[in-house]
Amino acid sequence: MMDISRETLIENIKALSEKSVLVAGDLALDVMIYGATERISREAPVLILRHSYTKYILGGASNAANNASAINSGKVSVIGVVGDDYHAADIRRVFEDAGINCKYLVEAKGRQTITKTRISGSCSHSITQQIVRIDTQSDEPLPENVEKQIIKNLEEAIPEHDALILSDYHIGTLTPKIINSAIKIANKHKKIIVVDAQKDLDNYKNITSMTPNLPDTQKYVGRKLCTREDFSAAGRYLISDCKAKFILITCGGDGMMLITPKETYHIPVFNKSKVFDVTGAGDTVTAVYTLALAAGANPVYAAIIGNIAAGIVVKEFGCATTSINAIIKSIPSKINVE
């Protein structure tokens, strides 16, 4: 059992707004199209929707940036690729509306901006339901000139920020050259480096931390994790493979496991309540955890803060964000870390 100081925790949370973060990775735009169902088409057995409105949401690596910006607007930047299509202007506009600096974006001619379009409908007697999702993305490797420009932008941007998040959705932005260059530059300038990836975790070496979820961790180590000893072994295996200082494994409703070279800590879910939507909760953890580490928080305290933040956003639909005041108000009366 580890004693947690409420006063120290509050100080760490308040310090989140003082730090800046750079997010590099697969930047995506979620396009949410809503309409009312009218009838079945005469042309084909499909629903006809009367369009009501369209909402643009930052998804993929963009959501990690959005979560950070909700806490320290004006101190978050993104690096990634957009296409030369009309969605490139859309994602730039949404970044700017969220207070996120997007001057380091690189446009790739002939490439598509990563977009996930969800079409949802409802009628007067039903809730809104998703009907179809359309994913738009490029599967071709990054052109060499685009890769070089991203690395050049990293050289300029990393020294200006306190922390670097590498958010890999495996859509092709984070190539081996970009990964290695980003980590090398960040370490040269003594920056916090946190990785959020779903596979190929050992592509990332010499980092501060990593935030894999339980299923992805189990896939990487090749076995199911059940006991504390299992988590300790898996975490230290990752620490060794990635040359990381510590690993944070997110376990959904079972909380988190923070593993250091010598200790293992279980951080339970605080303020349990009805979960509406877990979409983007992992990005919330990564963003807030990274800001806390950059602010000088002990890794356990940083994980607790990320845990509380995630507990707030899962109560809302879609990729939600939170704030410093909301996190402080959500600190539980009793904090048990084993």
- The predicted-structure confidence for 27-47, as pLDDT tens digits, reads as follows 999 999 999 987 899 999 988
Which token pair is 169? 């959705």
Q: Are 148 and 176 in contact (CB under 8 A)?
A: no
**Residue 94 covered by a domain:** yes
Q: What pLDDT, on the 0 to 100 scale, is given for residue 315? A: 55
Residue 28 is which amino acid? A
Domain that holds residue 220: 6-329
Which token pair is 222? 């090749």
DSSP per-residue string spanning 296-335: T--HHHHHHHHHHHHHHHTTSSSS----HHHHHHT--S--
CATH of the domain at 63: 3.40.1190.20
H-type alpha helices, the chain:
6-14, 61-72, 86-97, 144-157, 176-188, 214-221, 228-242, 281-294, 299-313, 324-329
Q: Which of 26, 162, 196, 283 is catalytic?
A: 283
172 SS3 class: coil
Distance of CA 206 to the CA centre of its chain: 20
The pLDDT tens digits for 253-307 are: 888 999 999 999 999 887 665 543 344 478 889 999 999 999 999 999 999 999 9
Q: Give me Rg for the CA atoms of the chain.
A: 20
Which token pair is 102? 């997007």
For residues 287 and 151, give the distance between their C-alpha atoms in angstroms, rounded to a whole number: 22
Which token pair is 85? 């299509």
Q: What pLDDT, on the 0 to 100 scale, is given for residue 129? A: 87
Q: What pLDDT, on the 0 to 100 scale, is given for residue 158? A: 98
**Residue 129 covered by a domain:** yes
Pairing relationship of beta strands 246-250 and 256-259 according to DSSP bridges = antiparallel
- Give the count of domains, the chain: 1
**Residue 82 covered by a domain:** yes
**Residue 135 covered by a domain:** yes
HSE-up of 223 (CA within 13 Å, CB side)?
A: 10
The pLDDT tens digits for 102-155 are: 999 999 998 999 999 999 998 877 788 889 999 999 888 999 999 999 999 999
Q: Determine how many CB atoms are found less than 10 A away from the CB of residue 136.
A: 16
**Residue 186 covered by a domain:** yes
164 SS3 class: strand
Query: Mean pLDDT for the chain?
Result: 91
Mean pLDDT of 165-194: 97
For residues 308 and 295, give the distance between their C-alpha atoms in angstroms, rounded to a whole number: 17
Q: What pLDDT, on the 0 to 100 scale, is given for residue 330? A: 87
Concerning whether 97 is annotated as a catalytic residue, the answer is: no
Mean pLDDT of 152-166: 98
254 SS3 class: helix
**Residue 222 covered by a domain:** yes
128 SS3 class: coil
**pLDDT of 76 above 90:** yes
For residues 197 and 140, give the distance between their C-alpha atoms in angstroms, rounded to a whole number: 20
**pLDDT of 52 above 50:** yes
Residue 57 is which amino acid? I
Q: What pLDDT, on the 0 to 100 scale, is given for residue 276? A: 39
**Residue 182 covered by a domain:** yes
- Cα diameter, the chain: 67
**Residue 337 covered by a domain:** no
Name which of 19, 75, 25, 21 is nearest 204 in CA terms: 25
